[in-house]
Amino acid sequence: MSDDRVVLITGGAKGIGRAIALDLAGAGWSVAICYRASEKEAGETLQAIQQRGPRGLALRCDVSRPEDAEGLVRQVEQTWGRLDALINCAGPYHRVDLLKETVQGWHAMFDNNLHPVFYLSRATAPGMIARKWGRILSFSMATADQMVAQPQLTAHYIAKVGILILTRSLARVLAPHGITVNAISPGFIDSGSAPPEELAAMEKRIPAAYVGSTQDAVQVARFLLSEEARYVTGANIHLSGGWGI
């Protein structure tokens, strides 16, 4: 990958987003991470980025607000003159029985998981089209393509299904311009978002017999961002060790 590329990673302060940010910084990318509440973690991640790569930014933004999401993209473009890759890692969730879900909680899952992918992709696309090169990656979840019942995660799950449809639609629209759009669908990944005992309990349900690491996500993202993946678009790559298939 070229050492003059610029990437914006939402949810880049922690977990998978952080791991990808550090990997790309080490490969020479200029890396901007976006966070909303994780200020301490964002500062630590920015310091690690700057130790590995040429340039880093940590920007606070509520990407559920369309005007703020667009402003975030413009800020990165104005700072570094371009934006070559967008990685949508932000994806908060909560567990609640469907019939006990509130209207506010229902809307929050779409506002924070699905809508920002549209806002940010729409804002990022013109610059990529002008340069005839770009990469957009979004994170869904294993089994989202099967549309199975999720009584405790219904709104979050529907939003992740929506990401797959949006990914394929964007891929069709942007392919003529040298831009690829793909999704990664993790199963159980030790990213710090789930208690270790919960992950350990899930091992027996994973055909590979172990929980994945953030490095597994890094490897897939690295490929999809590369020139080797120039003909891969509209794909949904399961990152689950066989769980959910």
Say what the pLDDT of residue 1 is. Answer: 47
pLDDT at 194 over 90: no
pLDDT at 128 over 90: yes
Grade residue 54 by pLDDT with cuts at 50, 70 and 90: confident
Tokens matching residue 94: 């909560």
* Residue 203 · residue 148 · CB < 8 Å: no
pLDDT of residue 202: 87
Q: Which helix (H) or strand (E) holds 13?
A: none
Kindly list the domain boundaries of the chain, sorted by start residue.
Answer: 6-239
The span from the CA of 180 to the CA of 102, in Å, is 37
Q: Which residue has the higher pLDDT, 196 or 168?
A: 168
The average pLDDT across 147-163 equals 96
Compute the mean pLDDT over every residue in the chain, rounded to the nearest whole number: 95
- Work out the number of other CB atoms within 10 angstroms of the CB of residue 209: 10
| Confidence (pLDDT) at 56 | 97
pLDDT value, residue 193: 76
Look-up: residue for tokens 């804002």?
A: 123
Percent of all residues in the chain with a pLDDT value above 70, rounded to a whole number: 99
Distance CA 55, CA 57 (A): 7
Residue 198 has pLDDT above 90, yes or no: no
Q: Which of 141, 171, 142 is nearest to 232 (CA)?
A: 171
Position 85 scores a pLDDT of 98
Give CA–CA dist 137/164, Å, rounded: 11
pLDDT in tens, 70-126: 999 999 999 999 999 999 999 888 999 999 999 999 999 999 999 999 999 999 999
pLDDT in tens, 20-38: 999 999 999 999 999 998 9
- Bridge-based pairing state of the strands 236-239 and 56-60: unpaired
**Cα 72 → chain centroid:** 16
% of the chain with per-residue pLDDT over 90: 89
What number is the average pLDDT over the span 157-185?
98
Distance CA 239, CA 33 (A): 23
Short-list 145, 116, 118, CA closest to 235 = 145
CA distances, 224 to each of 10, 52, 136, 178 (Å): 17, 21, 9, 13
What is the pLDDT at residue 39? 92
- Determine the pLDDT at residue 176: 98
CATH of domain 6-239: 3.40.50.720
Band of the pLDDT at 3, cuts 50, 70, 90?
A: low
- Residues designated catalytic: 157
- Take residue 20 and report the two structure tokens written for it: 């990808």
